[in-house]
Structure 1
Amino acid sequence: MRRFLALVIALALTGAAQAQAQAQDVQRIAAIVNSDVISVYDLATRIDLAITAGGLNDTQEVRRNMAPQVLRNLIDDKLKIQEAQRQGVPPTQSEVERAMETIANQNNIAPSQIDDFLAARNIKRSALESQIQGEIAWAKILNQRLRPSINVTEEEIDEKMAASENSDGETEFLVSEIALRVDGPSDEASVRTNAERIVTQLRSGADFAAVARQFSEGSTAADGGNLGWVRGGDLSPVFRSTLTGMQVDTVSDPIRTLDGFSIVQLRERRRIVEEADEGSVDLTQILLAVAPDAPDSEWAAQRERASEISRSVTSCDQFNQVIDDLESPLSGPLGKIAVKDLPSEFRTAIDGLDVGTPSQPIRTERGVHVLIVCERDQPDAVAEERAKIARQIEDERLEMLARRLLRDLRQAAFIDVRV
């Protein structure tokens, strides 16, 4: 009996020791980021999330290979949340709850079912919430603090518009990207290896957008790495060459960039066909009539008279006053006319003409004309294109500012990795 009790006690003590060891392992520190701690449990549950969300194979080898990248992302999330708190725009619980509701809606379940939904997929709610907090914190910093500081000028938009005018027939690519940073020469080999492993998983059927959300360190990570439609002429030579040689719905090998490595997915390609729409103008004319068979001296005299009007008039009001003084029944408002419907010589004369500035004299079979644009309506397509280009320039600068800020946060932080 005593031997039996001794055995029971020994087994109980062994079980307690194992449980204590497991508890200690769970609470073991994986990294310290300034004043915040990332535990081994935090790392393990984020790996669970990445595997499930990305549709990756759940093996010990995959977990071991993923751990460094997942830990880097956890560290970045801590830095982003800390910076958001410092700048007075921390993620709130209500924002996290709204994000959780969005996830529920995307999966066609009620918000009250989200915990059961996550548990069935081996995802800890705390792991998902911590990732959401990092995404919200960074989005608020970028959109509320950095984006307002970016100024895109009309000249920059004009320059981009001019470049796009020559893009007829050019190829445009619908692209997604996973960006992995390289902090220094010592990281080069490990990041490349990690990128190659991600490519292997993607080519084995893992969902690109889900993997991008878990592993990409670019500003588009929260949007599944979506870069949208990109003109070939706007890409660097290496990206343009890579995408040109790819089939739709395929994934590239890792591409070395200035900041690290990129993996791109070509979702679609198309040819750009530009259809010019120059809008409409509110046009007024002065017509100095000349008979077709009039002598050259009369044509010259009327042309000089028209030139004097062009030189002296500086507004539509002055132009209308000249018309009143001329008492010419052939002169006056032509109304609002689509530019494409104007005679070619009129279109040429007003091309690029500022509102309120008279054109140079135009000779037709009816005489010598001077035109003035009193209002110019830019077509919606052009306005939309200008807004799109402005946003593109703004996003490019925001991406640069975001990379710079995150780099500065990493360099200034106390980071102690213990696993």
Structure 2
Amino acid sequence: MTKQERTNHMTSCLFKRFAFSTAVAATALLGLAQSSQAQGAFSPAITVNDQVITNYEIEQRARLLTIMNTPGDAITVSREQLIDDRLKIQAANIVGVVAQEEGIQSGLEDFALRVNMNPDEMFKALASEGIDEETMRDFIVSGITWRAYVQARFGGSVQITEEEIDRAVASNTGSGGLRVLLSEIVIPTTPQTMAQVRSLADQISDITDFDDFAAAARAYSQAPTKDDGGRVDWMSVTNLPPQLRPLIASLSPGEVTAPVPLPNAVALFQMRRVEESDRRAPNYAAIDYAMFYLPGGRTPENLAKATELAGRIDRCDDLYGIAKDLPPEQLVRESQAPGEVPRDIAIELAKLDNNEISTALTTQNGQSLVMLMLCGRTVELGEELSREDVAGALRNQRLENYSESYLSQLRAEARIIEQ
């Protein structure tokens, strides 16, 4: 194989792993490139506490996000991520937290392994798409630095009890067939409203009364369950995303979770009832699901269309017939490990049985209604989690909540000027 053929092969592997949509990417990035040329690639586009983000950095991050198949408009997400990155690095540097070269190299190796490459091969593949090595390094450095800072700042505040571990072990292993009856509140966020929403969510998380939570759901939630006070039907805890199981299983009736960050939203869950039985509930190795996008968002016409389509199909394979003459990106089918399913999607799938449909979600900024269908769950036959694993998952979830809350505070206090 020639050097050029090897580069092409690596790029192909990268695309297959990240499901790159060339038509969408080309349109978005062409517009960004033209804008950058008009304004000057290295001209300031955003200033964050007197630190500059250039047009070129935004274009580079957008290219990387597109290759990674990150949901939403690549340009918008790029700008928001780079603002957050500046805030994270600034906060960490104030207390002397700096990413070490050894950690950076380890992060690059881990990332490259996801696409079956080594770092050098990955950099060559990215270069063929116009993405600089420094762009990937900056992406990795931000994550490493922020995790170290959050651990240093908040790690001592996280205390996990033995009772919480006991309940979480049951939820992860299926021991005792743990079932939960929950209520939910899902509050949309934008970068501009994040601080206010987090403040509201923190207040809701202190609720212990069922009627008060139901009233808050009717007032603030945008989930389809809002009119019913956020009430969700019985479900097995093993249906929930792995990251949420310890958090949910540790609740007593009436208690509410800390705010749970979702893409463009914050969620809270109240425990109404919990049941244990002798029947063992399974763990799942993979979740097979389909997403059929209806452009135009959550309109009465799209909701009616989704209802009409749901009446015509019995299983996920039937969606291919409906989508055969449509653009390929309008129907997406995935089979992922539970921990890899995006959290907002995973929460909706937890409510569904095989071949049931949810219309609770939209794409970023509400541009399309997502007709989400559960195709099936593959039972896992592996070993049970250890208590140390479960305690670690509980700890990481709480640190993530601290992280999201503090980043919102940094954003609210920052001087951010967008050109």
Q: TM-score w.r.t. structure 2 length?
A: 0.46
Q: Which has the higher helix share?
A: 1
Structure index of larger Rg: 1
